[in-house]
Chains A and B, each alone.
Chain A
Amino acid sequence: MNLNKERMSARTVSHLKKGEKGIIKSFTDRTMSLKLLEMGCLPGCEVRLDAIAPFGDPICINVGGHYSLSLRLNEAAVIELE
């Protein structure tokens, strides 16, 4: 995961606070990005952190106002924000 170290500074969905919004810029993992794309997480789409499960993981994000998606923190860390 050298790729990630280099981009440590980039803000990702895993950094969002509850109620905070962000706009998807890109993904750092290829296999995971395909799954996220198929589930409607597109670059340019607005996401909002809605809920955090007990023990802080997984989280629930709202995707473009349309629906609620639950993902683990390591999955959320793949989604970079603008």
Chain B
Amino acid sequence: MKQGNIKVALVGNPNAGKSTLFNALTGMRQKTGNFPGVTVEKKSGTFRIASANGHDDSHVTLVDLPGTYSIYPKSRDEVVVMDILANPKHPDFPDVVVIVADASNLQRNLLLFTEINDLGIPSVLALNMLDVAESMNLTVNAVQLAMQLHVPVVRINARTGEGIKSLKEAVKQITERTEKPVLQYFYEPKENEIGLINEVREIHQLDNDYVALQYVCQHDNFSFLEQPVRAKLDALIEKYGFDENNFLANETVARYEKIKPIVSKAVKSEGAIEPPYWTRKLDSILLHRVWGYVTFAIVLLIVFQAIFAWASYPMDMIDAGTAAAIEWVKGALPEGVLNDLLTDGIMAGIGGIIIFIPQIAILFALVAILEESGYMARVMVIMDKLMRRFGLNGRSVVPLISGVACAVPAIMTTRSISSRYERLLTILVTPLMSCSARLPIYAILIAVVVPETKVLGIFNVQGLVLFGLYLLGLLGALGSAWLLSLFIPRKEPSYFMLEMPSYKLPRWGHVGYTMYESVKSFVLEAGKVIMAISIILWVLASYGPGDNMNVAEQQVVASMNAAPQAQIDAAVASARLESSYAGQFGRFIEPVIKPIGYDWKIGIALLASFAAREVFVGTMATIYSISGDTEDVLTVKQRLIQEKNPETGGQMFTPAVCYSLLIFYVFAMMCMSTIAVVYRETHGWKWPMIQLAYLTVLAYVSAFVVYQVLS
């Protein structure tokens, strides 16, 4: 076999510790992307295996395949496993497969192992969670296991890194083998299957019986087979009268019959087998009919208090720092267009991005902790019956909760929902969950309109209003799901069946990494858009068609010649903005947004934020720093409070306007990336367009009602 560059794939049951092992092997050398041709997220990384002489180190590319109980996919992202393993021409086809098995539940974990083994790809079995097995009174004899399975078996502890070196060594030894050992099938094809297998093998030039059987059972999932080829396979199935369902059940039972004696020889149990003590204790509380919901509510409340109360300290510092920096640059550089572009355009835009880093970091860290600890699975259980009433599934909870961070990855996590119908409903309503991009908008408007007082001594009123907005988003999501379920017919039964992982302490390194990644992608991805739009907007707001802006300025100066200089300056700035390109644009759409309480300035921000919601605050910063008096630098919040309504002379951002804006952003689908990901996930424009239409109507009508009632 080849040396130097080795491709390794990681497979295993969900909760067997696959991603922990992936991290232990690759450390920080990871990258995420998509598998070629499909939208399933692909995590890959590299590591090195040192050679004895120190010169011929092997470079390994490790690909993490989606967790699965068997090679027969039950959901969309599991399809990718066999799409790669049955296709030696696939760029990710591995030289070696590392199968991670949970030693505390070996019998079930070995089912997947025997299937992969029968495909004929060289494999190593990594026995993980031996400590859990021990706490359950189980001892696993790895040597005995290796002898019976005819593959290298390595004892590892993915959390502590124990055994990682031996695992690398085992991978290396396999690649150095000079001849391929004779494959020992765990499943022997039945008499009536042999004819079909031989014919498929001949047509497709396969050297393996079990791969041929996979062509028979899974060809509709294989992206590398053309339609006529699939039709031919269907004809063969017809010809031999092959009953797939029957075969699958028989195969699985036959495999377990081979596995049982192996496990009983290799695993010794002393006393009763029981899941870890703490898992049982915690479950009795967290799944309790009363305490289960109480704890869930407390957990959510803590999350929101953290985002709002704890994050406010670093945010205030960043806010003050940005204002000071802008002031310093304004003074240090000569006055002029360049100075304005740098301070009012670029720096104001950057300030609008970095201020949200603390909130995003805290949010992603908390969501990661909930997932890592095993608590998220319990939430699915206690929410399933409720979710079912709205046409959803307990599993929809994860996309919905992730939607609080960002709808794009959240919609991608819906692939684990096996029912297509429930998956579609979840996709359609997930954007209603208030994502982190809405947080900046909520934060600034709440800061303007809600007093900073406390109730019951601990709860910050601003935090409670924020909690209310998130709740409104959730209710909107559930209500819409219910309404949509009345119109979209359900074609298939719904499943739940979910493994409850034992509770674990979160791996702090992993939590930190998730936090770092999310902040990085926010600053780089969202930041790019915000920056670009800030600059474009600054240009559009600073220049106008022809000589309009100067004409407007002269008119104001002429009409106000007796007024104090500061007042004239402010009026001039405002008149100039109004006659700029951006101002005219805002004026153009004003009739549409007037009924919900917005003026042309908010209109500009609204339009700009269609690219991405988080642009709203940056846009407001740009617009108001251009129109405002430039003598002293104010924060966006102060500018909004000071903004006057030209018609009434009172505050522009009255509670009616603020709440109308808040409600609008709770419901509106103001995000191009979400539309793009829904298009990708539903394979067409139909659903994203339906979604955009119903959410826009919902947002506009709700904002209208709120504004009219409050004003």
Residues on A close to B: CB < 8 A?
Answer: 30-40, 42, 50-58, 60, 62, 64-72, 75
Contacts and interface: CB of A to CB of B under 8 A. Distances in A.
Contact of A57 (B252, B272, B384): B384
A37 B249 CA distance: 8
A21 B500 CA distance: 19
Contact of B273 (A35, A39, A66, A72): A66
A51 B289 CA distance: 10
16 contacts: A32-B495, A37-B256, A38-B72, A38-B111, A39-B108, A40-B111, A50-B280, A51-B287, A54-B289, A55-B289, A58-B384, A58-B394, A60-B283, A65-B275, A68-B275, A69-B499
Interchain residue pairs A-B with the least CB separation, the first 4? A65-B273, A40-B108, A54-B289, A68-B500
Contacts of B293: 54
B496 A53 contact: no
Interface in B283-315: 283-284, 287-290, 292-293
Given A67-B500, A69-B500, A50 B256 contact: no
Counting chain B residues whose Cβ lies within 8 A of the other chain, the interface size class is: 35 or more
A64 B287 contact: no
Nearest to B71: A38
Chain A at the B interface: SS class: mixed
B382 A66 contact: no
A64 B107 CA distance: 10
Interface in B84-127: 104-105, 107-108, 111
A68 B638 CA distance: 54
Given A34-B245, A54-B382, A55-B385, A69 B292 contact: no
A34 to B, nearest CB: 5
A38 B495 contact: no
Given A34-B245, A55-B385, A66-B105, 13 more contacts: A30-B245, A34-B72, A35-B74, A37-B253, A37-B256, A38-B108, A38-B111, A51-B283, A54-B292, A56-B385, A64-B273, A68-B500, A72-B384
B496 A58 contact: yes
Given A55-B385, A67-B500, A62 B275 contact: yes
B498 interface: yes
Contacts of B136: 65-66
B79 to A, nearest CB: 16
Contacts of B275: 62, 65-68
B70 interface: yes
Contacts of B292: 53-54
B338 interface: no
A31 B385 CA distance: 22
Contacts of B74: 35
Given A66-B104, A66-B107, A35 B495 contact: yes
Contacts of A31: 245
Contacts of B252: 34, 37-38
Most buried by B among A32, A52, A65: A65
B249 A53 contact: no
B382 A50 contact: no
A60 B381 contact: yes
Nearest to B68: A38
B107 to A, nearest CB: 6
Interface string B378-403: 00111011100000001000000000
A45 B248 CA distance: 20
Contact of B274 (A54, A56, A65): A65
Contacts of A52: 287, 289
Contacts of A55: 289, 385-386
Interface in B236-294: 245, 248-249, 252-253, 256, 272-275, 279-280, 283-284, 287-290, 292-293
A71 B497 contact: yes
Contacts of A56: 385
Nearest to A56: B385
B497 A36 contact: yes
B553 to A, nearest CB: 66
Contact of B381 (A33, A42, A58): A58
Nearest to B284: A51
A42 B256 contact: yes
Nearest to B289: A54
Contacts of B381: 53, 58, 60, 70
A34 B245 CA distance: 9
Nearest to B259: A42
B482 interface: no
B107 A40 contact: yes
